[in-house]
C-alpha cells in the first residue's frame, strides 16, 4: 500500500465555517464516493484543482517547488496559496484545508510557504498557530489561544487593552495557518471567528 498524500481543498467565498466542514471531509477522502475500489491515495478535490494554476507562471514559486521537492498535490496546495499572496487585491478570503495522515508532507508545504514569504520580505503576512504548545513550537508558531487572546477574561479596561493589542498584533497578517485543526471543537471555532 502506498503512503497517503496530503490533500487540500479550498473555498474562495464568504460562506460560514460550517459549510467548509463537508469539504474538509471530502479532502480527507472519507465521504461516500471519494474512494475508488483500488486502494489509492486520496486526491485533491476538483475545486482545488480548478483554483490551482495549470502551470507555475512565477519563477520563484517554481523554484521553491523544486527546492522543497513538493509532489503534485503538495505543489497544487502551495501554488494556490502563493498565487493568492501575489494577487494585488483578492476580492474574497481564501479558505483552504490541507489534510492527510501523519508523514504525508503537510509540514513540507508549510515550510515552503514560510520560505516563500521570507523571500518576498513578507514574513509578517503569515501567522502560524496550533491548538497545543508542542505543535505550535514544531511549526515555529504560537498557540491559538495566545495568538487570539482567547484566555482573556478580565475587567472591561483590561479587555479593551487586550482588544487593541490583538488588533495591533494582527496588523498586516493576511494568512492564518492552523495546525492540529482536528482538535478544535465548534465552540473554539466560534471564539476564533469572533476574535478575527
Q: Are residues 44 and 33 in the same domain?
A: yes
- Burial code of 1-36, b = ≥16 C-beta within 10 A, e = fewer? eeebbbbbbbbbeeeeeeebeebbbbbbbeeeeeee
Domain boundary among 121, 153, 171: 121
Q: Are residues 157 and 196 in the same domain?
A: yes
pLDDT attached to residue 33: 33
Separation between Cα atoms, residue 190 and residue 196, nearest integer Å? 10
> Where do the H-state alpha helices sit in the chain?
21-27, 46-51, 59-67, 72-86, 106-119, 133-138, 144-147, 156-169, 186-195
> Taking the model in full, what pTM does it have?
0.67
C-alpha cell at 6: 496530503
pLDDT attached to residue 17: 38
Separation between Cα atoms, residue 106 and residue 81, nearest integer Å? 13
* pLDDT, mean of residues 135-147: 93
Convert the pLDDT of each residue in 153-182 to its tens digit. Answer: 555 666 778 888 888 888 999 999 999 888
Separation between Cα atoms, residue 36 and residue 30, nearest integer Å? 11
pLDDT attached to residue 157: 62
Q: Are residues 14 and 111 in the same domain?
A: yes
Domain extent, residue 173, equals 124-196
Domain boundary among 77, 92, 121: 121
Amino acid at each position: 500500500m502506498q503512503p497517503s498524500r496530503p490533500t487540500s481543498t479550498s473555498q474562495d467565498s464568504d460562506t460560514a465555517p460550517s459549510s467548509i466542514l463537508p469539504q474538509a471531509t471530502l479532502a480527507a477522502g472519507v465521504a461516500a464516493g471519494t474512494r475508488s475500489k483500488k486502494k489509492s491515495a486520496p486526491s485533491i478535490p476538483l475545486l482545488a484543482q480548478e483554483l490551482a494554476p495549470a502551470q507555475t507562471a512565477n519563477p520563484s514559486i517554481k523554484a521553491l517547488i523544486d527546492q522543497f521537492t513538493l509532489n503534485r498535490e503538495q505543489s497544487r496546495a502551495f501554488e494556490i496559496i502563493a498565487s493568492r499572496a501575489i494577487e494585488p487585491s483578492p476580492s474574497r478570503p481564501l479558505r483552504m484545508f490541507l489534510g492527510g495522515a501523519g508523514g504525508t508532507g503537510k509540514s513540507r508545504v508549510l515550510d515552503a510557504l514560510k520560505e516563500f514569504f521570507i523571500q518576498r520580505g513578507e514574513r509578517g503576512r503569515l501567522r502560524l498557530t496550533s491548538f497545543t504548545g508542542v505543535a505550535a513550537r514544531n511549526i515555529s508558531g504560537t498557540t491559538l489561544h495566545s495568538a487570539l487572546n482567547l484566555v482573556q477574561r478580565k475587567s472591561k479596561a483590561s479587555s479593551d487593552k487586550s482588544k487593541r493589542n490583538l488588533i495591533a498584533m494582527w496588523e498586516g497578517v493576511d494568512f492564518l495557518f492552523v495546525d492540529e485543526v482536528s482538535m478544535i471543537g465548534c465552540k473554539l471555532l466560534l471564539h476564533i471567528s469572533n476574535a478575527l
